[in-house]
Amino acid sequence: MRHNFRELEVWKDAYALVKDVYLICKELPEDEKFGLKSQIQRSAVSIPSNIAEGSGRTTDKEFLHFLNIAISSSYELETQLLLASDIFQLKVDFIVDKLHSNQRMIGGLKRKLNKS
């Protein structure tokens, strides 16, 4: 069953999170442009991108596969944000809180699709 990703709250939430991540990445040193900054941005973009890609698949099983990738990217992003906080003293708590909320939303959607 296909879903319109633009109507999914979980996608909207993840999309907004990317904007927050890009803003905080501006606070990283310029020499991190191809290091942690790039990794953080790629992980963040991966979350709504995989939700969107999965929503276009024809079965719930396929959608679940992409939701698993999205949640894995969110764990990767969380790790990278914690590293940025520890190494560069960035204030990332508000993004991590939003990320935890999004992880719960992805988990809820996964449970719903598993019942279908």
Averaged over successive runs of 10 residues, the pLDDT of the chain (116 residues) comes to 88 98 95 94 98 95 97 98 96 97 98 90
CA dihedral sign of residues 74, 80, 21, 44: negative
pLDDT at 2: 74
Residue spans per domain, the chain: 5-115
pLDDT at 27: 95
pLDDT at 54: 96
What tokens does 75 get?
């764990």
pLDDT at 1: 59
The predicted model scores a pTM of 0.95
Count of Cβ atoms closer than 10 Å to residue 33 Cβ: 11
The answer to whether domain 5-115 has CATH 1.20.1110.10 is no
Short-list 86, 66, 61, 58, CA closest to 78:
86
At 89, which helix (H) or strand (E)?
none
pLDDT at 99: 98
Which residue has 């969380």 as its token pair? 78
